[in-house]
Amino acid sequence: MKTIAERIREGMELRNLKQADLVEKTGISKGALSSYISGRYEPKQNNIYLIAKALSVNEAWLMGVDVPMEKIETNNNKRGITINVLGRVAAGIPIEAVENIIDTEEITEELARTGKFFGLRIQGDSMEPDIHNGDTVIVRQQDDAESDEIVIALVNGNDGVCKRLKKYENSIALVSINANYEPLYFTNKEITDKPVRIIGKVIELRRKL
């Protein structure tokens, strides 16, 4: 069996994609992708799914199994799973995260198998130009993420924010894409005392015209 790193490099060459293209298509940080491509680390299942989708290849093939590279679509893969879109979460000044259901979205069965998901409606402009006021983000429930990934975090226990996570040795920062907003820095002690808690990673963006 070939390694995942070898298969990623092979897939990138076949699809004529550079690392920057894969970062854009998957949302995985440049540092994490570099570690996968070099073979220093192997991606977790959710990132394997994202890379396979970006390269349009079979997940099993990407993991090194001797199967056809091309993904065969089935009717099962085309069926959608309905998830709830919860109340608004601030992408600017933190506001209380309201957990009422305001809408629904569909995700594929294939994606649904990688974890538990919910949607969140964004309010504010601090993540522009990437995420706009009124957009819905699809979030995988998880209590940690890699540096540079976009997360939903609860500050003071109930203030929900959509930010880019930056990890440091003794602290973290929740960073807006919009340069008009200052980063929110928290020491390890503040993370525990406030508390500051990651509740999910943003996987997809849904925008209605």
> How far apart are the C-alpha atoms of 93 and 178, rounded to whole Å?
12
The residue among 183, 117, 198, 192 whose CA lies nearest residue 152 is 198
As a whole number, mean pLDDT of residues 33-38 equals: 93
Whether the predicted pLDDT of 57 surpasses 70: yes
In the set 34, 38, 44, 163, the catalytic residue is: 163
Whether the predicted pLDDT of 208 surpasses 90: no
Numbers of helices and strands, H then E, in the chain: 8, 10
User: What CATH architecture applies to the domain 4-62?
Assistant: Orthogonal Bundle (1.10)
**pLDDT confidence bin for 76, thresholds 50/70/90:** very low
Say what the pLDDT of residue 110 is.
81
The residue among 134, 126, 153, 108 whose CA lies nearest residue 206 is 134
Hey, is 199 helix, strand or coil?
strand
Whether the predicted pLDDT of 202 surpasses 80: yes
Q: Print the SS3 string covering 132-197.
A: CCCCEEEEEECCCCCCCCEEEEEECCCEEEEEEEEECCCEEEEECCCCCCCCEEEEHHHHHHCCEE
Say what the pLDDT of residue 115 is.
86
Say what the pLDDT of residue 157 is.
63
The residue among 151, 164, 158, 166 whose CA lies nearest residue 202 is 151
Hey, is 72 helix, strand or coil?
coil
Hey, is 79 helix, strand or coil?
coil
Q: Which CATH class is domain 78-206?
A: mainly beta
Bridge partners, 104 (sequence order): 84
Whether the predicted pLDDT of 171 surpasses 90: yes
Whether the predicted pLDDT of 63 surpasses 50: yes
**Annotation says 35 is catalytic:** no
**pLDDT confidence bin for 86, thresholds 50/70/90:** confident
Q: Residue count of the chain, please give it.
A: 209
Each domain of the chain, given as residue ranges in start order, spans 4-62, 78-206
**pLDDT confidence bin for 6, thresholds 50/70/90:** very high
Angle, in degrees to the nearest 10, between helices 19-26 and 45-55: 110
Share of the chain above pLDDT 90, in %: 44
In the set 126, 166, 176, 201, the catalytic residue is: 126
As a whole number, mean pLDDT of residues 49-78 equals: 75
**Annotation says 126 is catalytic:** yes
The most confident of the ranges 72-76, 79-83, 116-120 is 116-120
